[in-house]
Amino acid sequence: MLVIPAIDLFDGMCVRLKQGRFEDVTVYSKYPEEIAMSFEQDGAELIHIVDLNGALKGEPTNFKKIEKIVKSINIPVEVGGGIRDIDKAKTYINLGVKRIIIGTKGCESPEYFEEICKSVKAEVIAGIDAKDGKVAVKGWIDLTNWDALDLALELERRGAKEVIYTDITKDGMRTGPNIDATLKIAKKLSIPVIVSGGISSEEDIISILPYNKFGIKGVIVGRAIYEGNVNLKKLIKKLTELSLC
């Protein structure tokens, strides 16, 4: 099980939101590159970065800060938030970002999502954020008519290498992930699925392990790390030991 620590950027700072509400923001650091370095030291193999300003505005806003993060570490990063055209995706790839997360644009135009997949030399990940099963876009502000499973199937067909599924009602709440909804998607896809939203403890993550056989490859963890409920270094060591048993 891959544990992917998250860095959400808002005005250049490392923050977390609750249920995607921008009025409910907690600032954890003004130096997210230092957070990234600590994640690498703890054994993380991949870091998940979201440009929250970019998600709202529709174009990357924290580019300089993301550039600084990428240059500060030796492990790969995946980036999402405001990447809605091929040029912006290529800009990140030229910077050294290994995985591009497309959310809003994939929902608005699966055809253009396919063009991005064909045009960039990186893994393109479908970011599917849902509330009560319906996909939300533009920084989780607008709720669409897309069913999360239907969109996941469509974007897999269009070339997505992976799906990150986030239950908005769980995100930042530390009430446990929505395994049922994630598993429903994973069982229908042939590409891996990443769990996101609601992780509150080490036990939450370990409980996901049995679902690896259904295609749930990993889990994104944010607030639980920042507030000390999950010790990333100890967790990664424990998961490694469990995988060897």
Q: Are 131 and 165 in contact (CB under 8 A)?
A: no
Closest CA to 103 of 163, 183, 22: 163
* pLDDT at residue 170, rounded to an integer: 62
Classify residue 87 as exposed, middle or buried by CB count within 10 Å of its CB (0-12, 13-18, 19+): exposed
Instruction: Specify the number of domains making up the chain.
Output: 1
* pLDDT at residue 184, rounded to an integer: 94
Tens digit of pLDDT at every position of the chain (245 positions): 899 999 999 999 999 887 667 777 899 999 999 999 999 999 999 999 999 999 888 888 999 999 999 999 999 999 999 999 999 999 999 999 999 999 999 999 999 999 999 999 899 999 999 988 889 887 666 788 999 999 999 999 999 999 999 988 665 555 678 899 999 999 999 999 999 988 999 999 999 999 999 999 999 999 999 999 999 999 999 998 887 65
* Residues with active-site annotation: 8, 129
Q: Could you give the CA distance from residue 53 to residue 195 in angstroms, rounded to a whole number?
A: 23
CATH number for the domain harbouring residue 239? 3.20.20.70
Query: Domain residues for 12?
Result: 2-244
For residue 71, what are its two tokens? 């240059």
Write out the E strands in the chain.
2-10, 13-18, 21-29, 47-51, 77-80, 99-102, 123-131, 134-137, 142-147, 162-167, 193-196, 216-221
H or E element, residue 128? strand 123-131
